């Protein structure tokens, strides 16, 4: 079965999902991962499927497009979704995980699979044969140059940022309090409230704080991962409508704070919490100073500072079809954030589509486009059909779905999107098109 070997480059979320799905279909996989021998500036673990930014897969509700996408992936037997469920930590209506437990579980399962060979080395050129490139937004320079040479495309990029993680025991709970917004679900978020005077002082210090200057001449920042200091510079109240929004977070005495900094559980032991929406490129010393100006965090111990890194991606509409297959090189698929999708769950979805279609290609079956009514299919369609002139990565959202019937009432729209999406996947499963 040598001709049935698929080279999967990169053991991130997309690469791990693709490897699992291929092996499940009886196809031998060589999974290449440069860790632990070499790591990007944003990676710290030796294991696969490392979550380098937030530990949250976002909303798990079917009232949200990301929640629908996760439900579809579960229907399709996603390895990543199984691991996320096994290592889930409390996060209200969001699906958040213990980073290390989640990553270790995925790694051990793939290492133990008889049809998956792990190759611990950096891939500098695209190997011959059948290939899924899933090296993510931090693709090493040599390989990215080879991809550009093959595709003829110049690099597109944006800068991404991660939030600090702090020790639970260093938070002052005479000030901070547990509460979920509007008391939805279990009170799992830690909230640090500010009065107007406290916020005004803190804001003034923040906008004058020193940042790390990126080496690249022009800095393009993805809106979904905007550093909080950049948000602050857009206006004094910008953060109050974003990560520091106080609505639904009244203090235990019933009073309403002027601003709130929220922290979300980052591991199962509840010893680490990340600061929600506080991705940053402040210098480490300034991060410590600015965070310790927040009430409740005056003596906080930072175990991982926020970092900013360059994310690279290809021009999906020019290079790829809606199966994540290269138009000019049909034996090569590109999955994950390198393909131009944005987000953890979206990366998993792209790995799912690429691997199912790679399996069909090897079995001489026609490739399948996932139903456009599904979140997975809507995302893939956008990637292949967006304008190549000004293409930018985008999280899955209801705007990517085909319109509903005109008679759909506003309050029913989200549930109708969800029902229609899940039904389209169910019909595909019943027809067996995803299992070939």
* Options 3.50.50.60, 3.10.180.10, 3.30.565.10, 1.10.10.10; CATH of 2-160+310-431: 3.50.50.60
Predicted pLDDT at 388: 86
Can you give the pTM of this predicted structure?
0.78
Distances (CA, A) of 120 to 30, 32, 49, 130: 10, 6, 14, 19
Contact yes or no for 361/367 (Cβ under 8 A): yes
Nearest to 40 by CA among 10, 18, 17: 10
Q: Is 108 in a helix, a strand, or coil?
A: helix
Could you confirm whether domain 165-306 is CATH 3.90.400? no
Residues 421 and 414: their CA atoms lie apart, in Å, by: 11
Contact yes or no for 163/278 (Cβ under 8 A): yes
Nearest to 17 by CA among 109, 87, 98, 99: 109
Nearest to 32 by CA among 104, 137, 139, 105: 139
Nearest to 81 by CA among 91, 90, 71: 71
| Mode of pairing for the β-strands spanning 94-97 and 88-89 | antiparallel
Reading the chain (436 residues) residue by residue, the pLDDT tens digits are: 445 899 999 999 999 999 999 999 999 999 999 988 887 766 778 899 998 878 899 989 999 999 999 999 999 999 999 999 999 998 888 899 999 999 999 999 999 999 999 999 999 999 999 999 999 888 888 998 899 888 887 767 777 778 899 999 899 999 999 998 888 877 889 999 999 999 999 999 999 999 886 655 345 555 666 889 989 999 999 999 999 999 999 999 999 999 999 999 988 888 889 999 999 989 999 999 999 999 999 999 998 888 777 778 899 999 999 999 999 999 999 999 999 998 899 999 999 999 999 999 999 999 999 999 999 999 999 999 988 887 878 889 888 898 887 776 767 888 999 999 999 999 999 998 887 6
For residue 262, how far is the Cα from the chain centroid? 20
Q: Which residue has tokens 């969001």?
A: 94
Predicted pLDDT at 93: 86
Kind and range of the H or E run holding 56: strand 56-59
- DSSP assignment of 350-419 equals HHHHHHHHHHHHHTT----PPPTTSHHHHHHHHHHHS-SSS---B---GGGSPPPPTT--GGGHHHHHHH
Write out the two tokens for 158.
Answer: 């944006």
Sequence spans of domains, the chain: 2-160+310-431, 165-306
């Amino acid at each position: 079965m040598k001709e049935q070997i698929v080279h999967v480059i990169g053991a991130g979320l997309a690469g791990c999902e693709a490897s699992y799905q291929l092996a499940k279909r009886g196809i031998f996989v060589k999974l290449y991962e440069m860790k632990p021998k070499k790591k990007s500036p944003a990676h710290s673990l030796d294991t696969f499927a490392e979550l380098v930014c937030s530990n949250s897969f976002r909303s798990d509700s079917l009232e949200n497009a990301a929640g629908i996408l996760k439900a579809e992936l579960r229907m399709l037997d996603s390895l990543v979704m199984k691991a996320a469920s096994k290592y889930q930590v409390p996060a209200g209506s969001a699906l958040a995980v213990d980073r290390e437990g989640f990553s270790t579980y995925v790694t051990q399962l793939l290492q133990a699979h008889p049809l998956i060979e792990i190759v611990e080395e950096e891939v500098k050129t695209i190997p011959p044969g059948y290939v899924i490139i899933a090296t993510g937004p931090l693709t090493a320079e040599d390989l990215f140059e080879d991809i550009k040479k093959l595709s003829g495309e110049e690099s597109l990029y944006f800068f991404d940022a991660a939030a600090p993680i702090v020790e639970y025991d260093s938070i002052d709970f005479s000030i901070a309090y547990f509460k979920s917004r509007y008391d939805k679900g279990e009170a799992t978020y830690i909230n640090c409230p500010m009065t107007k005077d406290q916020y005004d002082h803190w804001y003034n210090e923040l906008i004058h704080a020193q940042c790390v200057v990126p080496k690249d001449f022009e800095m393009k920042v993805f809106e979904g991962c905007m550093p909080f200091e950049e948000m602050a510079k857009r206006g004094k109240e910008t953060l109050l409508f974003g990560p520091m929004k106080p609505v639904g977070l009244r203090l235990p005495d019933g009073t309403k704070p002027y601003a709130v900094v929220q922290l979300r559980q980052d591991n199962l032991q509840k010893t680490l919490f990340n600061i929600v929406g506080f991705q940053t490129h402040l210098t480490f010393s300034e991060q410590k100073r600015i965070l310790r100006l927040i009430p409740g965090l005056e003596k906080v111990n930072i175990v991982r500072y926020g970092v900013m890194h360059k994310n690279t991606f290809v021009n999906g509409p020019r290079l790829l079809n809606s199966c994540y297959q290269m138009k000019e090189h049909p034996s090569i698929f590109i999955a994950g954030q390198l393909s131009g999708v944005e987000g953890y769950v979206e990366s998993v979805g792209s790995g799912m589509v690429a691997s199912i279609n790679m399996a069909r290609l090897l079995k001489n079956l026609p490739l399948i486009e996932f139903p456009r009514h599904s979140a997975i299919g809507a995302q893939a369609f956008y990637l292949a059909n967006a304008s190549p002139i000004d293409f930018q990565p985008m999280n899955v959202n209801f705007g990517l779905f085909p319109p509903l019937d005109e008679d759909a009432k506003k309050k029913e729209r989200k549930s109708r999107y969800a029902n229609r999406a899940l039904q389209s996947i169910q019909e595909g499963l019943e027809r067996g098109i995803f299992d070939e």
